[in-house]
C-alpha cells in the first residue's frame, strides 16, 4: 500500500510509521555518541548501560526484575527479536497459536523453521480473544502462543482476565509465549498495558519483544529488545549471534541516556491520545463508523455504510481515485475474513490528518 500511495501520490495512512520529527534531544544524543567514538561493534547482547536502563524501566512499570547480563538482549527492531525467538525454539512439526488479525511476520517465520501456525480469529467489533477456542486448538504438537498487546491492527488491549487465561493455559500445557509489546507505551482512556512481565508463570515462559523505533518515532533506526529468563535467552543469543551479531552502537548509547528521563515514554499515552481524538473528530461528519482504538497508533474505520466492495478493492480505489491510502484488514485475518474495515495510522502531522480527513468526509 505504501508503494501504491507513492505511485498515485496519495496521502499515506497505511504503513505504521510517524511522519513528524524525532525529539531533537535524542537526535543530538546519537550525534554525540558518534562524535565520542562509539562507531564500532557493540557487545553482542547490547550496550550494558542500555540493558540496565531497560531493566530499570521494566521494574518501574511492571515490578519485575530482569538481569541485564543474562536476560536482556538488544535487537535490530522487534521483528528481528520475534524472528530470533522463533528460530531458537520452533522445529519441524511444532504448532504455534496466533491470534488473527495478526502482524504479518509471525506465520512466515514459523513456517520457515518447519512449524505450523494455528489461527484463532478475533471477531469484530470487540476483537476479544476467545480462550475457549484457544484451548480447543491446543494439541500435543503445540509449542507456543504468540500474543500482541496493544494489538495491531485492531487497537485492542488484552485485559487482566485475558492475561490470566493465557497464563493458565501455558502452565497447564507447558507452552512458550512470545509477547509482542511494541506498542507498550501507547495506550488510551486510562487503559494500562499489562505486560507478560507482570505474571510469574508468564515471565518464566515468555520472550517479551519491544521496539524503541515505535516508541520514540524512529522506525528507520530499527532498534528493539527482547527480555526472557536466562534459560530461554541463552538459546536466543545462540541465534542472535549469527543473525545480526550486534546492533547499532551510537543509537544504543543515546537511548541509554534518553531512558534516564522517564517522561520521555510516560508522556506518550497523552501525546497519541490527542492524535487519535483529533483524527476521530476530524472525520465525525464522514460515513465511516469508528470504535475508538484502546492503544497503538492505529484506528479501524468501518466502511459498511459506504460500499459493498471488499476491503482490498475499496482500499485500492481510495488510493487511486481519492488519494488516501489505508490498509485492508482482511489480509491480517484467518482465511481473509472481511469485516469491512480499514486500518489507519494516525501517527501523522496535524496537516496530514486534516488533508486526509477532508477527503474521507467527501466520500
**145 in Cβ contact with 99 (< 8 Å):** no
The grid coordinates of residue 314 equal 475499496
Cα-Cα-Cα-Cα torsion 192, 347, 216, 200, nearest 10 degrees, comes to: 30
The grid coordinates of residue 268 equal 506518550
Q: Is the pTM of this model over 0.95?
A: yes
What is the layout of strands, in order, in the sheet containing 289-290?
Answer: 289-290, 298-302, 341-345, 327-328
Name the helix (H) or strand (E) containing 327. strand 327-328
Q: Residue holding cell 515468555? A: 206
Residues 291 and 171 grouped into a single domain: no
Residues 219 and 159 grouped into a single domain: yes
**231 in Cβ contact with 58 (< 8 Å):** no
The grid coordinates of residue 269 equal 499515552
Rounded to the nearest integer, the mean pLDDT of the chain is 97
Residues 236 and 306 grouped into a single domain: no
pLDDT band at 1 (very low <50, low <70, confident <90, very high): confident
Cite the DSSP H helix spans in 176-322.
200-203, 212-215, 230-243, 249-258, 263-266, 268-282, 311-317
Q: How many domains does one find in the chain?
A: 2
Residues 9 and 77 grouped into a single domain: no
The torsion region of residue 119 among left (phi > 0), alpha (psi -120 to 50) and beta comes to beta
Q: What is the pLDDT of residues 277-311, one digit of tens each?
A: 999 999 999 999 999 999 999 999 999 999 999 99
- The residue out of 208, 238, 261 marking a domain boundary is 261
Mapping DSSP to helix (H, G, I), strand (E, B) and coil, where does residue 345 land?
strand
Confidence at residue 326, expressed as pLDDT on a 0 to 100 scale: 97
Q: What is the pLDDT of residues 310-356, one digit of tens each?
A: 999 999 999 999 999 999 999 999 889 999 999 999 999 999 999 99
- Domain containing 347 equals 2-16+266-361
Q: Which of 44, 42, 51, 34 is nearest to 249 (CA)?
A: 42
- Measured CA to CA, the distance from residue 184 to residue 162 in angstroms comes to 16
Confidence at residue 47, expressed as pLDDT on a 0 to 100 scale: 98
Residue 150, domain CATH: 3.40.640.10
The grid coordinates of residue 242 equal 549469527
Q: Residue holding cell 525454539? A: 89
Name the helix (H) or strand (E) containing 88. helix 77-89
- The residue out of 207, 238, 261 marking a domain boundary is 261
Average pLDDT over residues 222-248: 98
Residues 132 and 245 grouped into a single domain: yes
Confidence at residue 214, expressed as pLDDT on a 0 to 100 scale: 95
Residues 164 and 228 grouped into a single domain: yes
Q: What is the pLDDT of residues 126-178, one digit of tens each?
A: 999 999 999 999 999 999 999 999 999 999 999 999 999 999 999 999 999 99
Residues 329 and 295 grouped into a single domain: yes
Residues 200 and 51 grouped into a single domain: yes
Q: Residue holding cell 477456542? A: 133
The grid coordinates of residue 75 equal 535487537
Residues 121 and 220 grouped into a single domain: yes
Q: Is residue 2 pLDDT above 90, yes or no?
A: no
Residue 10, domain CATH: 3.90.1150.10
The grid coordinates of residue 190 equal 486510562
Amino acid at each position: 500500500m505504501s508503494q501504491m500511495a507513492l505511485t498515485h501520490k496519495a496521502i499515506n495512512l497505511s504503513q505504521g510509521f510517524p511522519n513528524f520529527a524525532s525529539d531533537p534531544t535524542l537526535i543530538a544524543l546519537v550525534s554525540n555518541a558518534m562524535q565520542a567514538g562509539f562507531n564500532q561493534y557493540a557487545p553482542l547482547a547490547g550496550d550494558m548501560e542500555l540493558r540496565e536502563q531497560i531493566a530499570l524501566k521494566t521494574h518501574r512499570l511492571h515490578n519485575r526484575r530482569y538481569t541485564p547480563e543474562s536476560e536482556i538482549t538488544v535487537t535490530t527492531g522487534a521483528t528481528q527479536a520475534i524472528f530470533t525467538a522463533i528460530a531458537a525454539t520452533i522445529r519441524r512439526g511444532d504448532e504455534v497459536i496466533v491470534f488473527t488479525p495478526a502482524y504479518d511476520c509471525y506465520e512466515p517465520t514459523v513456517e520457515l523453521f518447519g512449524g505450523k501456525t494455528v489461527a484463532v480469529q478475533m471477531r469484530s467489533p470487540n476483537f476479544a480473544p476467545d480462550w475457549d477456542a484457544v484451548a480447543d486448538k491446543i494439541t500435543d504438537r503445540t509449542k507456543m502462543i504468540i500474543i500482541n498487546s496493544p494489538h495491531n491492527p485492531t487497537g485492542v488491549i488484552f485485559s487482566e482476565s485475558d492475561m490470566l487465561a493465557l497464563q493458565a493455559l501455558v502452565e497447564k500445557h507447558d507452552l512458550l509465549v512470545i509477547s509482542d509489546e511494541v506498542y507498550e507505551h501507547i495506550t488510551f482512556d486510562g487503559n494500562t498495558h499489562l505486560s507478560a512481565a507482570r505474571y510469574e508463570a508468564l515471565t518464566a515462559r515468555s520472550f517479551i519483544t519491544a521496539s524503541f523505533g515505535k516508541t520514540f518515532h524512529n522506525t528507520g533506526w530499527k532498534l528493539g529488545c527482547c527480555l526472557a529468563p536466562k534459560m530461554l535467552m541463552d538459546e536466543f543469543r545462540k541465534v542472535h549471534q549469527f543473525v545480526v551479531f550486534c546492533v547499532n552502537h551510537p543509537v544504543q548509547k543515546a537511548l541509554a541516556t534518553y531512558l534516564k528521563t522517564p517522561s520521555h515514554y510516560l508522556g506518550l499515552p497523552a501525546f497519541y491520545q490527542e492524535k487519535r481524538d483529533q483524527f476521530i473528530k476530524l472525520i465525525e461528519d464522514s460515513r465511516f463508523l469508528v470504535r475508538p482504538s484502546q492503544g497503538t497508533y492505529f484506528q479501524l474505520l468501518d466502511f459498511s455504510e459506504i460500499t459493498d466492495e471488499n476491503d482490498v478493492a475499496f482500499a485500492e480505489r481510495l488510493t487511486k481515485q481519492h488519494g488516501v491510502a489505508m490498509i485492508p484488514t482482511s489480509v491480517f485475518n484467518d482465511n481473509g475474513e472481511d469485516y469491512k474495515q480499514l486500518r489507519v495510522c494516525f501517527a501523522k502531522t496535524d496537516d496530514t490528518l486534516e488533508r486526509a480527513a477532508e477527503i474521507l468526509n467527501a466520500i
